[in-house]
Chain A
Amino acid sequence: MTNDLPFCAPATPPGVGGISVIRMSGRYAIAVADRIFCVLRASDSAVKSVADMPGYTMSFGRIFEPGSNRIIDEAVLSVFRAPHSYTGEDMVEISCHGGTAVRQEVLRVLCENGARPADPGEFTKVAFLSGKIDLTQAEAVMDIISAESAEALRVSEIQLLGALKNEIRAISEKLYDIFAQLEMLVEFEEEDEAITRNQAELRLRDYLDRLSTLEDSYAKGRLLSEKMTVVLAGVPNSGKSSLLNRLAGYDRAIVTPIAGTTRDTLEVSTSIRGVPVRLIDTAGLRETADEIERLGISRAYDAAKEADLLLWLVSSADCATDDGEPEWIQSHFSQFEEVANIIGDRRLAILISKSDLVNEQQAERMLDSIVSAIQSGGLGEKIRFSGVVSAYTQEGIHIIVDAVKDIYDSTGMTGQSELLLMNNRHFEQIRKAKDKVNQAIISLSDQTPTEVSCSLIRLAMDDLGEITGDSVSDTLVDTIFSRFCIGK
């Protein structure tokens, strides 16, 4: 049965690195490892094979192809024995040399000798199913796996310790308390000790605030786990690719003086002052008959939709007029408007690029007239900052770097509270719960019957319970009886 085959997968990210780690889990993981690994040195000289290895020990040895005895790599192998492993099953971790070819060879011999490739997230799933971790923890682990910056890892760890769960439980308990008291109003006539609708409404508002705080923390949590998206946009040949290369720290994009060189969006992951960033270079926006270029342009608009920050570049060469309105405004404003309308307020930077081609005053003048044109076009709200940059001299690069850090720090909460929502499912549940609490507040403020408010609060608690795995109603009757004297 396929279910009994141990499953294996690389635990380190793809790409070239010093070492690669491959994990394998399942009842027969150790037996499979024994078929392809020969122990050369171990902590104890009695250890002759993987099967001899106690849990939590390592051996040095060789990975070989069983049929031909061809040696694939030298590696260090660690053994974890059930139930004392991450998945709760027997597990083996092989640390081999980095590099795609070696890793694929190791996976191949494993799979040809009794293992199978793991399904996505299967290690965590098995850990969850064997009761090693609960649902919130499982999801946090998945976030850790994909967390790329040190800060994201810290937040994931806190979540792993159940801080998120504690906060949600705390809110649930408070909601429950109000709920139980409102239930009294619904269930029994004239219970003088019960809460009034007004009191309930006021208290609910507090918990709505706490849910909002959690909800808002997702913006930062998402940045931490998903990276901040910075999009470079502008008309062709405005210097986007040069700037991308500068920000990424290496020549990622091909740069030529020919307008329309970048025909598709191009993405680079980088870190700007510790902030994980996804830099996206886009095709220059213009009317074109070229089918491929048109596709590229439509992708540029898609990228703009996701932008946490959109850098709109205007080449100083494009607006070199002596007086009055720069030519750029007349010829390219419509393309600009289209992009500006897609993005959120204060998400836009206006940058005069290639500032090395003009003098400082000229550049400032150009910037002023463009910004005021944008403001009079009713799009002033979109602008976060503006400046003059040169990828060549590095002038103004620090403005962008500062702004990235600034956006990152100002999104959601800052340092003092570390409780961040990072997982989209959690965010959705919190959002749903908040929406229902909000409706409950409204229902308590007008003539809607209390039973409706109760229904909404119950549903909100269910939404939260889906994060923590708790169910609501078992204890309701007990709560009611322990608090109130019921005569009838």
Chain B
Amino acid sequence: MTVEEALLQKGAYEAGHFDVLVVGAGHAGCEAAVAAARSGMRTALFTLHLDSLANLPCNPSIGGTAKGQLVREIDALGGLMGEMADACAIQTRMLNRSKGAAVFSPRAQIDRSRYSRKMKGMLERIDGLEIRQGEIVKLLVDQESGTTCICGAVTRSGAVYTASAVVVCSGTYMQSRIIMGEVIIESGPDNLFPSIGLSGSLADLGLPIQRFKTGTPVRLNARKVDFSRMEIQPGEDDMPPFSFVHEMNDLRPVRTQMPCWTIWTTDETRRIIRDNLSRSPLFSGTIEGTGPRYCPSIEDKFVKFKDKERHQVFVEPMGEDTCELYLQGMSTSMPEDVQIQMVRSLPGLENAVIQRSAYAIEYDCIDPTALFPSLESKSVAGLFCAGQINGSSGYEEAAAQGLVAGINAVRFIRGESPFILDRSEAYVGVLIDDLVTKGTQEPYRMMTSRAEYRLFLRQDNADARLTPHGYRLGLISEARYMLFKSKQAAIEAEIKRLRQTVLPPSDALNALLISRSSTPVSSGVSMADLLKRPEIKYKDLHTVDTNRPKLNEAITFTVEVDIKYEGYLKLEKQKIDKFKALEVRTLSLNTPYEEIKGLRIEAQQKLSKFRPISLGQASRISGVSPADVAVLLVYLDAKKRSAARNG
């Protein structure tokens, strides 16, 4: 539909022009809108309900394995989520402390209503950004010399906005319905309105629609809970904040840590689920959408892993001002009466009072392979999609995409080349590349295993990897960039010092080494070489390291890992160089794949349909073989040679 046609509809009116419209104010939408507005774009952000802005309708937490890395990356690029999470954390922990540094993952319990309120207040104060309660039901397009271009959007109340770019972050709201046993309700999450019509508009514009499913557990009142029967899981006082700015200024996010608890399901839980399986919509066929395997409902877990007798459940606080608790691990789509029985079969919850029911939710999203790595639609210029609409799950995954989509909407308007992070630079890059190159058959969650270069993509060095990008994009202030530069300089200087400081063999040193079950030395040894021993830690050496400068822990952490992992990082680096060699070979969007001799027909069809931006992306498309990539390499070389010949 064009603007002119939209204005002919009943009740329609001209509501003005914006550079960027952002549809949906969840974690993706907020990042996108702020990135655009801070880049000087007149931006409007639409939400179905202003008090549910940046809502956390499922788990009241941010971060965790791989997700914590994403939050650090968002922060390093100049996004919002890190600072917001620090400001609203009620418990913080660094997960995987017993494992390696690459999977150290910060996680925080979040006061969910504070998070939403704070975000609203923050957005309201940003110049050039207008936030507006209203439902976008239609996208407007124009035809310009054979290309379909976005040009605006219409709200349910008839407001016709024109715009140069639109970012759709519709979350789980499109055509959504909530399912509890036999009961089906047309609704978004948290009893909010669903979004009706927008997915039809996207489908009309050529975006392929898929249907996904996810779910959430019950919420309880803490007053009827017997915590003495649970294992307490306290927070950690010394967890560094998500935000690099807070970290460098030594600001710890949480004053008083609220605890979480863990319990295990009982035989009774198992029996109740087994007896009521026929009432579960998952097994009765009511649910058509594909659910996430990593976050299965409790009935799913018992069915798929028959041998496992019990499953762990986490009991988590929802905020400081509320007694509400969240039961992680008990997501279910069972009927409400079964839910009560199930919850009361858990230790300590015999008298539990449910405040909100668990439910499964089905929603429309798009097949993300319809997008370029910039998150722009391949069929409509200027239309960007981010977050759960792209088949991902999780607040962090959404925020990361929102930030990239916001940045690229700006670059699109300015006629600049898109900002694309590759798989060797960031989890953000892995996430987006996975989505747009391979697509997804279930809600996609970030995992560290998905990153080939995991030893590089650590939470501690996210700033080193990404803050220069954020600065260049104008999302990192001059002051913060200076702070960043001085941190990097300090890291470099300390690594150099440790390499150059040679400790002579001494009784003190050898006693220290023996106490750490490490081989004593008989000749001089550099501190760096000692640190490469897996059993020796940086802080162990302080007694023999007499000239040690006083350094922020964020600095010494990176110093230690970079030294310890030096050899391994070098191996990964070689691999990265090879990877990059294909990434930089760009493929024009109108490459005539049908005419390239030697490409298999399957590959020709896949490539023509897919339109990869680089040889690297082409190599990751399913159905494109290494031999096809070799053919494309030959083709690119031949083209380059003939171009050179023709001058």
Contact = CB atoms under 8 A, between A and B. Distances in A.
A448 B454 contact: no
A451 B535 contact: no
Interface string A162-188: 000000000000000000000101111
Interface stretch (B38-46, B100-108, B220-228): B100-108
Given A485-B304, A486-B294, A488-B64, A448 B626 contact: no
Contacts of B598: 126, 129-131
A188 B447 CA distance: 10
Contacts of B96: 186, 189
A488 B328 contact: yes
A135 B572 CA distance: 24
A129 B301 contact: no
A462 interface: yes
A451 B450 contact: no
B628 to A, nearest CB: 9
Interface in B589-647: 597-598, 600, 622, 625-627, 630-631, 634, 638, 642
A486 B626 contact: no
A456 interface: yes
Nearest to A134: B627
Interface residues of A, number: 42
Interface stretch (B167-175, B305-313, B342-350): B305-313
B443 interface: no
A185 B66 CA distance: 14
A383 to B, nearest CB: 38
A31 to B, nearest CB: 18
B627 A187 contact: no
B308 A187 contact: no
A455 B448 contact: no
A481 interface: yes
Contact of B575 (A447, A462, A477): A462
Contacts of A455: 454-455, 568, 571-572
Contacts of A189: 95-96
A452 B565 contact: yes
Nearest to B59: A488
A30 B565 CA distance: 60
A83 to B, nearest CB: 12
A21 to B, nearest CB: 25
B636 to A, nearest CB: 14
A126 B294 CA distance: 45
A459 to B, nearest CB: 6
A447 B534 contact: yes
Interface residues of B, number: 49
A160 to B, nearest CB: 17
Given A131-B627, A436-B571, A452-B455, A446 B328 contact: no
A189 B262 CA distance: 13
A459 B311 CA distance: 34
Contacts of A134: 627
A128 interface: yes
B257 interface: no
B99 A3 contact: no
B235 interface: no
Contacts of A15: none
B452 interface: yes
B449 interface: yes
Nearest to A186: B103
A187 to B, nearest CB: 5
Contacts of B103: 186-187, 451
Contacts of B312: 487
Interface in A436-488: 436, 443, 446-452, 454-456, 458-459, 462, 469, 471, 473-474, 476-477, 480-481, 485-488
Given A186-B449, A451-B100, A469-B626, A485 B308 contact: yes
Q: Which of B102, B301, B631 has the most CB of A within 10 A?
A: B102
Contacts of A462: 575
Contacts of A454: 454
B496 interface: no
A446 B96 CA distance: 18
Q: 8 smallest A-B Cβ distances: which pairs?
A: A449-B100, A447-B534, A451-B100, A129-B598, A485-B305, A469-B626, A481-B293, A448-B534
22 contacts: A129-B627, A131-B627, A135-B627, A186-B103, A187-B66, A187-B103, A188-B65, A447-B535, A448-B534, A450-B100, A451-B102, A451-B448, A452-B100, A456-B571, A458-B452, A459-B571, A469-B625, A481-B294, A485-B296, A486-B295, A488-B295, A488-B329
Given A446-B535, A487-B301, 4 more contacts: A187-B65, A456-B571, A481-B293, A485-B296
Interface of B: 64-66, 95-96, 99-103, 293-296, 301, 304-305, 308, 311-312, 328-329, 438, 447-450, 452, 454-455, 534-535, 565, 568, 571-572, 575, 597-598, 600, 622, 625-627, 630-631, 634, 638, 642
